[in-house]
Structure 1
Amino acid sequence: MTVDRMILAFAGFFILLSLALGWEQSPIFHNTNWHWFTAFVGFNLFQSAFTGFCPLGKILQAFGAKTA
């Protein structure tokens, strides 16, 4: 799996998890402040589309993940 696909998988997982933790009708509801984490992940995806910089991508490359 390449870095690009890992980033998409991580982002999708954390968006779904943070929405479930922040949604009041969810069985794993914790606190509505989890929506701020959802916004943070979304903002990082948005800015990386324009700048090409992704903090998770740099971390994965440091751990030896292959690039496309």
Structure 2
Amino acid sequence: MSIERIVFAVAGGFILISLLLAHFVSPYWLWFTAFVGANLFQSAFTGFCPLAIILKKLGKQSGPAF
């Protein structure tokens, strides 16, 4: 699995989990959803993604985006 697929899977999982937490626990979890979305948005333009850097150091195979 490439870095891009891992990043997308983790981001999607975080968004779904935070939406569930916002619904069942507290609406303040929507701030975490916004943070993940903003990070995805900025990485589309800058190419900077903290998770991608960590995965590169762990030896994961990079694809064309990161």
Q: Give the TM-score of the pair, scaled to structure 1.
A: 0.88
- Aligned counterparts of 1:13 and 1:32: Cα–Cα separation in 2: 18
Q: What secondary structure is seen at the aligned counterpart in 2 of 1:44?
A: helix
Q: Kindly provide the CA deviation profile for residues 2-48 of structure 1, in whole angstroms up to 9, marking residues without a partner as x.
A: 0000000000000000001001xxxxx12111100000000000000
Choose which of 13, 25, 31 in structure 1 pairs with 2:26.
31
Root-mean-square deviation (CA, aligned residues, Å) is 0.7
Q: What secondary structure is seen at the aligned counterpart in 1 of 2:44?
A: helix
Structure 1 runs (4+) deviating above 2 angstroms are none
Which structure is higher in RCO with an 8 Å CA cutoff and minimum separation 6?
2
Unaligned runs of 5+ in 2: none
Aligned-residue sequence identity (percent) comes to 57
Q: Which has the larger radius of gyration?
A: 1
- Aligned counterparts of 1:17 and 1:65: Cα–Cα separation in 2: 25
**1 or 2, which has the higher helix percentage?**
2
How many angstroms does 1:64 deviate by? 1.2
Q: Letter of the aligned partner of 1:9 in structure 2?
A: A
| Count of aligned pairs between the two proteins | 63
